A = this chain, B = another copy of it.
């Protein structure tokens, strides 16, 4: 992460300005506010603003007039009940806004989550920074042999070195050519007065997908949990998962009861089909069901045994 001095000063100035408010306020999140948590080599996540807290979820579920005098333990129980039974609307009553710096190929996955508000830095209007993502050596993974959408072993030796060289050289060269085509200095004046300079909206097409962009991204807690359930999951691509994990930390500071319920009933939960449940019940009754005759496909059987941490059985 490379915040310039002036950016750091802007953040410090924002943190120095305190106000009094009647709104629900969360000291643990206030302590993080505006500060950039580094993610990947040049990215970050920072919380810019938030609305609501654990009690606001309870208050909305009850459509109550005040902040309530019920015990905190009762609030926790209600939140867990709401999460377990997939009541989504009370969680929509909390809102959070992030400023994120991220590689473009990560932004392209992220933006598929449509229920959010986004303002992205415009490369049509402005010039992007000279920053691109180069994986750390331990993240330079081969294609998975078993999963068309996953990673296998980490590349080693000459192959790893060559890949890193290619990624770095290509991103750098393309950025340099981007700047050359623009032909603009910092004041917007031509570097070479003999050239007109290509329009920004065209020159940007020469950038690589590991170039960094940034955006303001705002969503409600329910939709954030949906995002996190997909992106903080082990099947998510590493480069977006690290953002999700950094955001989950801010959620734990912000709404600890909701975050706990989310971990228990969503992130760590398992969904079993009716057919899978039938097999589990047979096992609990002492039978030894096999894939054949179970009604499950071999693939479903393997998924179930993996979840139960059981051997695959004779015929699978």
Which chain B residues border A180 with CB–CB below 8 Å? 166
Q: Is the CB of A49 within 8 A of B56?
A: yes
Q: What are 11 residue pairs bridging A and B, where the CB atoms are less than 8 Å apart in the complex? A: A19-B21, A19-B22, A21-B23, A63-B121, A65-B99, A93-B97, A142-B196, A166-B177, A166-B180, A167-B206, A206-B209
Give the shortest distance, in Å, between A179 (CB) and chain B (any CB): 11
A59 contacts across to B, CB distance below 8 A: 216
Which of chain B's residues have a CB closer than 8 A to the CB of A307? 277
Number of interface residues of A (CB under 8 A): 135
The answer on a CB contact under 8 Å between B117 and A92 is yes
A154: shortest Cβ distance to chain B, in Å? 9
Q: A10-B65, A273-B264 are in contact. Are A209 and B198 (CB under 8 A)?
A: no
Given A97-B51, A174-B208, A201-B237: A218 in contact with B23 (beta carbons within 8 A): no
A74 within 8 A of B: no
Query: Are B23 and A49 in contact, CB atoms less than 8 angstroms apart?
Result: yes
- A167 near B205 (CB under 8 angstroms)? yes
Rounded to whole angstroms, the CA-CA distance of A49 and B94 in the bound complex is: 10
Q: Which residue of B lies closest to A36 (CB)?
A: B65
A202 within 8 A of B: yes
Interface residues of A in 97-148 (CB under 8 A from B): 97, 99, 103-105, 107-108, 111-112, 114-115, 117-122, 124-125, 133, 135, 139-144, 148
Chain B residues in 8 Å Cβ range of A200: 143
> Is residue A67 contacting chain B, with contact meaning CB distance below 8 A?
yes
Contact B67 A17 (CB under 8 A): yes
- Residues of chain B within 8 A of A264, CB atoms compared: 273-275
A66 at the interface (CB under 8 A from B): yes
Indicate whether A181 reaches chain B with its CB closer than 8 angstroms. Answer: yes
Q: Are A7 and B65 in touch, CB under 8 angstroms?
A: yes
Q: Find the B residue at minimum CB distance from A123.
A: B105
CA distance A89 to B118 in the complex (A): 7
A227 within 8 A of B: no
Interface membership of A150, Cβ < 8 A: yes
Is A268 positioned at the interface, with any CB of B under 8 Å from its CB?
yes
- Output the nearest chain B residue to A151 by Cβ-Cβ distance: B199
**Contact string, A147-174, partner B, CB cutoff 8 A, digits 1/0?**
0111111010001000100110011011
Q: Is the CB of A117 within 8 A of B141?
A: no
Pair A210/B199 contact, Cβ less than 8 Å: no
